[in-house]
């Protein structure tokens, strides 16, 4: 064999082995990448608390530490866009309010992503009722007294939410629509800032997650007015629902939380994540943990069930948005 031919074949073989090794190394790197959950809200709110709980239990289940990345702002748009643009390999996930993700599709004319094509649902994780709390300086103890105060002093009562178009915002608008009140909405970039300003008295009311409001209710820093669910909370058994108020029996507002991955994630990866998630949300330890924080557990879920919840929320909340003429 000619010497130059031998050298060429040898180099080709070395190059082939190198490419094969590089490909294997890249695959191994992808498999061992740090997993990340993007939470499209600042730290300190209900979404953040539940997301961190879930990340801990999922990490324990799969034997990996899962990093939390808070990307708050624009009612979840900033964090959601970051997820939509992530590599669809299952290592980047989004833990977000299903309600907010659904309403953004209605509120924002030109989203920087496609609500359905750019995300693949994994599972609903839990839900949460809100509690309407007041600064102690507000002279009301229940919804009937709040309605009377609003009638006596129209346009003077403000309520905080964790974002324009968020469930806290829509809970207030729904109450306005059903009661005839005109509570003034004050949006914040997350639950933490909204809670802080309510505690400081800069805003009078706040539709807060029961989880983050509980300690402040117990200390007397906030006064619970009513909860937004159809039944009373086990953590606040003496606080009535808004639906218990005469004339408001059909009132209900609830936040649903879920897990997504970027659109285009392989079906096998989606199924694997779903199977792991199903074990977590059905585990007694996880249920006990989040129920102690005021969240409502789900017995089971699936990508299909979560997609159905998104569609349902778009229909229900879309009506509130249209009547209130809410826009971003």
Domain ranges of the chain: 34-127+254-324, 129-244
The encoded tokens of residue 230 equal 């159809």
Q: Which architecture, in CATH terms, is 34-127+254-324? A: 3-Layer(aba) Sandwich (3.40)
Q: Which of 19, 69, 15 has the alpha carbon at shortest distance from 40?
A: 69
pLDDT of residue 14: 38
Q: Which of 164, 177, 316 has the alpha carbon at shortest distance from 242?
A: 177
pLDDT of residue 301: 93
Q: Which of 265, 257, 262, 263 has the alpha carbon at shortest distance from 281?
A: 257
pLDDT of residue 4: 45
Does an H or E element contain 57, and which?
helix 46-62
Q: Is the dihedral of CA 291, 295, 297, 302 positive or negative?
A: negative
> Phi/psi class of residue 300: alpha, beta or left (left: φ > 0; alpha: ψ in -120 to 50)?
beta
pLDDT of residue 31: 54
Contacts of 292 (CB under 8 A, 6+ apart): none
Q: Give the pTM.
A: 0.81
Query: Do 34-127+254-324 and 129-244 come out as alike in CATH topology?
Result: yes
The encoded tokens of residue 328 equal 């971003």
pLDDT of residue 46: 84
pLDDT of residue 224: 98
CATH code assigned to 129-244: 3.40.190.10
Positions in the chain whose pLDDT score sits under 70 = 1-32
Residue 49 to residue 286: CA distance in whole angstroms: 13
pLDDT of residue 300: 86
- Kindly tell me the number of DSSP H helices and DSSP E strands found in the chain: 11, 10
């Amino acid at each position: 064999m000619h010497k130059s031919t031998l050298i060429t074949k040898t180099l080709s073989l070395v190059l082939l082995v190198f490419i094969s090794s590089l490909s294997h190394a890249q695959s191994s790197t992808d498999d061992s990448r740090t997993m990340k959950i993007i939470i499209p809200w600042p730290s300190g709110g209900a979404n953040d608390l539940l997301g961190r709980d879930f990340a801990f239990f999922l990490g324990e289940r799969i034997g990996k530490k899962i990093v939390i990345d808070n990307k708050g702002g624009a009612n979840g748009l900033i964090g959601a866009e970051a997820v939509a643009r992530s590599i669809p390999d299952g290592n980047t996930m989004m833990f977000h309010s299903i309600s907010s993700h659904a309403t953004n599709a209605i509120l924002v004319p030109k989203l920087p992503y496609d609500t359905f094509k750019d995300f693949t649902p994994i599972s609903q994780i839990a839900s949460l009722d809100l509690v309407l709390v007041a600064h102690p300086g507000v002279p009301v103890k229940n919804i009937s007294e709040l309605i009377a105060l609003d009638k006596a002093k129209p346009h003077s009562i403000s309520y905080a939410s964790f974002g324009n178009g968020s469930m806290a915002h829509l809970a207030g608008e729904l109450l306005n629509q059903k009661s005839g009140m005109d509570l003034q909405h004050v949006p914040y970039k997350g639950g933490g800032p909204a809670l802080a300003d309510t505690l400081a008295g800069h805003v009078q009311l706040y539709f807060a997650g029961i989880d983050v409001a509980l300690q402040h209710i117990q200390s007397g820093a906030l006064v619970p007015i009513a909860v937004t669910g159809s039944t009373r909370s086990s953590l606040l058994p003496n606080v009535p629902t808004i639906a218990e108020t005469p004339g408001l029996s059909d009132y209900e507002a609830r936040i649903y939380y879920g897990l997504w991955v970027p659109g285009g994630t392989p079906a096998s990866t989606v199924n694997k994540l779903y199977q792991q998630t199903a074990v977590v949300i059905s585990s007694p330890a996880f249920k006990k943990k989040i129920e102690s924080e005021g969240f409502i557990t789900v017995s089971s879920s699936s990508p299909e069930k979560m997609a159905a919840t998104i569609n349902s929320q778009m229909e229900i909340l879309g009506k509130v948005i249209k009547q209130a003429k809410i826009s971003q």
